[in-house]
Structure 1
Amino acid sequence: MNKLKYSIILAILIIASSCQNSVVEKGFTNKGKTFSGSRLTPEILWTLGRIGNVSVSPDKETVLYSVSYTNIEENKSYSDVYTISVKDGVKTQITDTKSNESAVTWRPDGKKINFLSAEKGSVQLWEMDVDGSNRKQVTNIENGITNYQYSPDLKHLAFTCEIKIDENIHDLYPDLPLANARIEDDIMYRHWDTWEDDDYSHVFVAPTDKLIESGTDIMEGERFDSPLKPFGGVEQITWSSDSKSLAYCCEKLVGKAYAFSTNADIYLYNVQDQTTQNLTKGMMGYDLNPTFSPDGKYLAWESMERDGYESDKNRLFILDLASGEKKDLSTGFDQNVANLVWSEKSDKIWFISNYHGTNEIYSINTNDGNISKITEGVHNYYAAIPAQDKIVATKGSMMFPTEIFVVDPKTGNDQEISFENKEMLAQLEMGKVESRWITTTDNKKMQTWVIYPPNFDPNKKYPTLLYCQGGPQSTVSQFWSLRWNFQLMAANDYIIVAPNRRGLPGFGQEWNEQISGDYGGQNMKDYFTAIDTLAKEPYVDETKLGAIGASYGGFSVYWIAGHHQKRFKALVSHCGIFNFEQMYSTTEEMFFVNWDLKGNYWDKDNKAAQKSFDNSPHKFVKNWDTPILVIHGEKDFRIPYTQGMGAFNTAIMRGIPARFLYFPEECHWVLSPQNGILWHREFFRWLDAYLK
């Protein structure tokens, strides 16, 4: 009897312990946190909530989204799921776990919510009721899945996972199990921040009548990836409206051909007869992000014309599925299109386009090609989803991180509904953001953002930073960044000058393309024009100017170091190109350098290429005289970290004050919270030492 009592008591204690553990395992949030000061800091920047995975229910009545918060002490983020009523804005939190639900979306019938989770080990597809209850595992695929997409009739699931195809050294030499090496016979063997392995991302299709443990590999044996690596996601896989076919994106090239090309195509797989058709054969640039019209008659996608040019105009193409006729609906529209979404009646496509430094919502009539601009303002819209007679959209700016809005498509007026960071942002003083148009050396108008410190006093003089944009073809828009955050710089009493210099989209294709083959040319004159113009203002201390930038912006800083004629007193270059010849020989996506530099460095008869290589920053180090902070990540394979080492070592050898901030675990970006905070502390420690 005593043993039985002991067993019962022990069982009760175990159950109680389990209950306590379930409480401990709840999610993490910073929402509503109070701050001791009114200025933005790196710590506060990482404290704010980040909204993602926004979608609208099939009945168009409810918004689904996730919010992630960073636990700085643990150096990681936690994500939970929410819904909002489109009609009355009522918000409901439906998960509160440490499972970090990702890729959250509505099941096509609206009765369930799907998500990816690793709560049982590998990442698998799960579903739950719309209130967050009854979590159920849907897939049990060996090694997990990476993307998923239900067919509209719910009879099939498309998913992606990594499949081993190539041999590795242990396959070749099984008697050397402890050997650690790579054997390469071709480029490209690494990409952005990852070494290529013997696995490839393939698309699978499986029936949904039971737990999914396998599927049909629709790319069986192919040494290609879908979605495209490294940034492609589920937007590159979509079902036809009748659930009979699946469209997916793939660049079916290998090695050297793959490294030099952007010829990605859209393929259509027939589920019944298991045949595949190339829908964009003969279209030589990027063809990505297909989406079928609700009536099943058309396929729309984003298309670039020229092979090897990653910054070509992004056009809106449409395919008549019955006739096979393809048509560029964006002919005459001198802007890029992105994030295409069909209207319910299939008579209109909503999209996002950058114009003069802001991202706006547009619509295009699919019958006559008429384009309408829906919104106007100092902001960035990132997505637009029709919801009854409204548009649900995500929007941010240099003043606040992304939130969810409801937009009136007739007036363009919007109303926020998420308010995730309202209480925290209300505690902070933000600096004024101003748009200026400056006349360049070739008598053109250049839009430039100027960001002022909070409580700006025009009677004072402020140290001022010239921000050099990366890309090189990436607009200085109204972005909110965890690293290049202009409000954070302004909160440290700096004025920021951020010009949309030559080579940036949103100002016409001619303006965008001018930079190719002209590194160190007109765009550098644009930089000097911007800072020289602002330096004339009485509140700018022209004796305390700095230049900062990353990637192409980092190259810009290195180039400026040899040409600025004592304008600047401090420089910061993050992941910048220092030596063009070394860059050309060691980068991974060869199409980038080959197009922008107009060829290789050993072809002495190629005058355009030789002009580019003659402008390599390392050729002007004899003119360097300014203190410089160099930052680089070891896992940056686009611009290898030896570029940063070369710049730093050269500065030291020349007797110039320099510092090297090196991140062994970071890539082209700084992604972990504590490294991000360290980045900012060193950034301001360096600038303050020479500009304050």
Structure 2
Amino acid sequence: MKRIVKPICLAAMAIIIGGSGCTDTEKQVKEPLKIDVSLTQEEKDKGLLTPEIMWKFGRIGSSVISPDGKLLAYTTTYYNLQENKGVTNIYLIPTEGGEPVKLTDEQGSESNIQWSADGQAIRFLSTRSGSSQIWEVKIDGTGLKQLTNFDFDINGFAFSPDGKKIVYTKDVKMVDQTEDIHPDMPKAKVRIIDDLMYRHWDYWEDGKFSHLFVADYTENGVENAIDINEGEKWDTPMATDFDMDEVQWSPSGDKIVYASKKLYGKDYAMSTNSDIYLYDLKTRITTNLTDGNPGYDRYPRFSPNGVFISWWSMATPLYESDQKRLYILNTNNNKKTYLTEGFDQNVEYYVWDNDSRNIYFTSGIKGTEQLYKIDVATSKITQLTTGKHDYTSCQFSNGVLTASRMSMSMATELYRIDEQTGEATQLTFTNKHIYDHIKMGEVRERWVTTTDGKKMLVWVILPPDFDSTKKYPALLYCQGGPQSTVSQFWSYRWNFQIMAANGYVVVAPNRRGVPSFGQEWNRQISGDYSGQNIKDYLSAIDDVKKEPWVNEDKLGCVGASYGGYSVFYLAGHHQKRFKAFIAHCGMFNLESFYPQTEELFFPTFDLGGAPWETDNKVAQRSYANSPHKFVKNWDTPIMIIVGEHDYRIPYTQSLEAFGAAQLLGVPSKLLFFPNGTHFVTKPQEAVVWQREFFGWLDKWLK
């Protein structure tokens, strides 16, 4: 499977007779990773968020609720900054509240957690035996044992409701590579490529694709495995998420529903047409349930009674940020229903209730993510929560609703939700030991009038111990995506509170092109990168800089991805507003970016077409306004950051920009991360990133 950290596949067979080892964990000799999350006295005395403290946070990941609704299992990742490594373990907490219980230790990283059918154990993937295998631990923390011992990595799994069968994923080699074509040249390091999608996000295609295998699970282990994607040259679950949440058992255990984009090469690169497929274990027949819809169809779910299959769907081909619409299929009569018709918001994470009457889901509204409920029979939608925060997932069982929540001032924690009142009771306090000693800046909601007379939400984050009689330097934050909301998110990379802790006022506008303000606002940016959203950025900073506590002579502008494009473009058009720029992995030359990126459907839709389409007015307008064509206007210090393994926006874009700045004599610095992708995720490299980030800003703005 092609992940950010790609597992090693050691074998690929169509039919596997698997072994379980029920390995005694006492035989494991792997040294556990040492974790220390305590703050030093100096950090407590200073009371400000620093890059080093950021890597002491426990980072809550996935959570699953027990069948009786009484317990919540979840993962938390901790890091050792000195070792430059992290480890993920499993915890358990009562949904009524209480102290969490740690179920696993630091000998392995755990993922893909799920409950056993009887609710007495947690099953999960772990690397503690040296490869990715399925393990189990009882809810009292005893009985840790290894359930599989394959000679290959398992990338994901799900047991059938009765526990007698299992579906799992592994990589299967489908396309010959150089060593197959020229076996007498084993030392030749060369990739032979004759089609597109030869690399994706952060990995090169290696001829292997993720396939689903269905097998029996008995006391002897995993037996009689069948590759239900045999012969297919595409990934299931879909790249680049490879999310087992897109693979679901029917309640009866005789069918599997999954999402896949069954295309290859250039066809794959130029399409968002994924579909929902139903596999019948008895007949071994696969049926496409969404044939005819040209956009994404993803995240299928069986209702608990088995009558319905739900999924979210996008209508527009090539448009990866189209509205996520909730559909259901009645399996008794094959009738499809557009459940959220007329609802001008996205359906994000969602779950069914136990009675198959309601669906709970998260959705963005005005720069926040809230919880909603929809009645399947009437399509009535009820908003359950409000407030300055983001609910990012939810779980429901036996009348108990739980959810993960974060804000600009708090990393993800888990909550129990009273759906009648919307009241949230916090269950986990993973980082309380940090918050007790660290001051957070105030987050203000501000509505700014745009140049076309509309109202735009701008988040303004103030430094801790803010003094309105003082003047502060300010940063305009340019959001990536481009269709990503500036919501109440907590980021371990682009963290507003750490910017504020360094003495900056942060101005974060929800400019044109972001979700949660209706589809018209979201879609406007496509084909208009250099237009209204750029004006929105300037409207935001021009409005906030009027405040007496902002030093309008000390303004900076920062952003990544599309935000990096925005920085490059503004560097040629800012009319002396800014004194410093930072662009991370941005698009600089749209003409060279178009054929270099991997998912070509994205620039085809968002830029309007290819640069050689000379009769295409939308495309030609996009390329005529590429940032590189205005580089002659650059006159402001700029730092450029890039990762070598970024294939979404290849690092050559940043090298072009840096070279231009240097040749023009513009003060400039390049941060090049040989191990970096579109992100910088290694602990020590991330700390260097933060130090250089603020070092550059402080040099020009303080």
Q: Sort the TM-score into its range (normalised by shorter chain).
A: over 0.9
Task: Give yes or no for contact 1:395–1:402 (8 Å, CA) kept in 2.
Answer: yes
Q: CA deviation at 1:490?
A: 0.1
Distance 1:153 1:23 in 2: 34
The Cα of 1:424 is off from its aligned counterpart by: 1.3
**Alignment correspondent of 1:7:** none
1:195-230, Cα deviation, whole Å (9 max, x unpaired): 011111000001001212661100111111101111
CA contact (8 A) 1:141 1:214 kept: no
Instruction: Work out whether 1:326 is the aligned partner of 2:336.
Output: yes
- Provide the identity percentage: 49
Distance 2:369 2:484 in 1: 12
Q: Secondary structure at the match of 2:676?
A: coil
Pair 1:244-2:251 in alignment = no
- Tell whether 2:308 aligns with 1:298: yes
Is the contact between residue 71 and residue 92 of structure 2 (CA under 8 Å) also seen in structure 1?
A: yes
Aligned to 1:11: none
| Residue type at the aligned position of 1:164 | K
User: Which residue of 1 is the match for residue 198 of structure 2?
Assistant: 189
**In the alignment, which of 354, 359, 366 is matched to residue 356 of structure 1?**
366
Shift of 1:169: 1.1
1:174 is the counterpart of 2:192: no
Q: 1:424 to 1:303 in 2, by over 3 A?
A: same
Quote the offset at 1:423 in angstroms: 1.6
Partner letter of residue 290 of structure 1?
P
Deviation at 1:386, TM superposition (A): 1.8
1:599 is displaced (CA, Å) by 0.5
Task: Give per-residue Cα distances to partners, 1:39-78, cap 9 Å, x unaligned.
Answer: 0000101111111121100111101012111100000112
Partner deviation per Cα, 1:410-450 (whole Å, 9 max, x = no partner): 01011111111112111001000001110000000000000
Post-superposition shift, 1:371?
0.3
2:21 maps to none
Counterpart residue number, 2:483: 473
Instruction: Give the Cα separation in 1 of the matches to 2:130 and 2:493.
Output: 32
1:206-261 superposed Cα distances (whole Å, 9 cap, x missing partner): 10012126611001111111011111311110001111100111111111111010
Cα distance in 2 for partners of 1:636, 1:31 equals 34
CA contact (8 A) 1:139 1:213 kept: no
Per-residue CA deviation, residues 291-350 of structure 1 (Å, 9 max, x unaligned), is: 110011001111111111100000001000111111111110000001110011110000
Of 489-498 and 219-228, the range deviating more from structure 2: 219-228
1:64-93 deviations in Å (ceiling 9; x for gaps):
012111100000112222111112424212
Q: Report SS of the residue matched to 1:442.
A: coil
- Give the secondary structure class of the aligned counterpart of 2:242: coil
Task: Give secondary structure in 1 for the equivalent of 2:222.
Answer: coil
Residue 407 (1) aligns with residue 417 (2): yes
Shift of 1:388: 3.6
Classify the secondary structure of the residue corresponding to 2:256.
strand
The answer as to 2:281 corresponding to 1:271 is yes
1:215 aligns with 2:222: no
Change beyond 3 A, Cα 1:541–1:516 = same
User: Which letter does structure 2 place at the counterpart of 1:62?
Assistant: L
- Mapped to 2, the partners of 1:156 and 1:346 lie a distance apart of 24
- 1:26 Cα shift? 6.8
Q: Give the 3-state SS of the residue equivalent to 1:678 in structure 2.
A: helix
Tell whether 2:675 aligns with 1:668. no
SS at match of 1:68: strand
Is this contact kept in 1: 2:216–2:224, CA < 8 A? no
Shift, 1:118, TM fit: 1.9
Please say if residues 67 and 397 of structure 2, whose CA atoms lie closer than 8 Å, have aligned partners that are also in contact.
no
Amino acid at match of 1:193: D
Q: Match of 1:630?
A: 640
2:156 equivalent to 1:147: yes
Partner of 1:456: 466
Matched, 1:164 2:177: no
Matches within 5 A, 1:268-667: 268-667=278-677
Q: Distance in 2 between matches of 1:118 and 1:555?
A: 39
User: Retained in 1: the 8 A contact 2:216–2:223?
Assistant: no
Once the two structures are overlaid, the 10-residue window that deviates more, 379-388 or 592-601, is: 379-388
Residue equivalent to 2:51? 42
For 2:351 and 2:26, the matched residues in 1 are separated by: 44
- Cα distance change on mapping 1:173 and 1:533 into 2, 3 Å: same
Tell me which of 56, 72, 84 is aligned to 2:81. 72
SS in 2 for 1:158: strand
In 1, the alpha carbon distance for the partners of 2:33 and 2:687 equals 26
- Structure 1 residues 595-646: Cα deviation after superposition (integer angstroms, max 9, x where no partner): 0001011111111110010110000011110000000000000100010000
Residue 202 (structure 1) aligned with residue 211 (structure 2): yes
Residues 204, 564 of structure 1: alpha-carbon distance in 2 compared, 3 angstrom cutoff: same
661-670 or 106-115: bigger deviation? 106-115
Between Structure 1 and Structure 2, how many residues are aligned?
Answer: 675
Partner Cα distance (2:548, 2:234) in 1: 58
- In 1, distance between residues paired with 2:459 and 2:69? 37
> Deviation string for 1:625-668 (max 9, x for gaps)?
00000000000001000100000110110010000000011100
The letter for the 2-side match of 1:258 is Y
Q: Which amino acid aligns with 1:467?
A: Y
- How far residue 385 of structure 1 moved from its aligned partner, in angstroms, is 1.2
C-alpha contact (below 8 Å) 1:142/1:213 kept by paired residues: no
* Equivalent residues of 1:27, 1:80 under 8 A apart: no
Map of 1:126 onto structure 2? 135
CA-CA distance at 1:122 after TM superposition: 1.7
Q: 1:30 aligns with which of 20, 37, 44?
A: 37
Which stretch shifts more, 106-115 or 477-486? Answer: 106-115
Counterpart contact for 1:31–1:49, Cα < 8 Å? no
Separation (CA, whole Å) in 2 of partners of 1:647 and 1:496:
25
Equivalent-residue separation in structure 2 for 1:680 and 1:141 (angstroms)? 41
- Counterpart-to-counterpart distance in 1, 2:32 and 2:223: 28
Q: Which residue of 2 aligns with 1:3?
A: none
Residues 397, 478 of structure 1: 8 Å contact kept: yes
- What SS is found at the alignment partner of 1:644? helix
8 A Cα contact 1:102 1:116, kept in partner: yes
Contact preservation (8 Å) 1:291, 1:340: no
Q: Indicate yes or no: 2:62 matched with 1:53.
A: yes
Shift of 1:140: 2.6
Give the partner amino acid of 1:151.
S
Q: CA deviation digits over 1:568-587, x for unaligned, max 9? A: 00000000000000000100
Is the 2:90–2:110 contact (alpha carbons within 8 Å) kept by the matching residues of 1?
yes
Separation (CA, whole Å) in 2 of partners of 1:596 and 1:542: 33
Give the equivalent residue in structure 1 for 2:9.
Answer: none
**Cα-to-partner distance string for 1:394-414 (whole Å, 9 max, x where unaligned):** 101000100011111001011
Q: Kindly indicate whether the alpha-carbon contact (under 8 Å) linking 2:475 and 2:555 is maintained by their aligned counterparts in 1.
A: yes
**How far apart, CA to CA, are the structure 1 residues paired with 2:40 and 2:122?**
29
CA 1:24–1:517 in 2, change beyond 3 Å: closer, same or farther?
Answer: closer
Structure 2 residue runs of 5 or longer lacking an equivalent are 1-24
User: Unpaired runs of 5+ in structure 1?
Assistant: 1-17
Q: For 1:200 and 1:22, how far apart are their aligned partners in 2?
A: 32
Alignment match, 1:686: 696
SS in 2 for 1:208: strand
Deviations 1:17-49 (A, max 9, x none): x99997963763526776342000001011111
Give the TM-score normalised by structure 2.
0.94
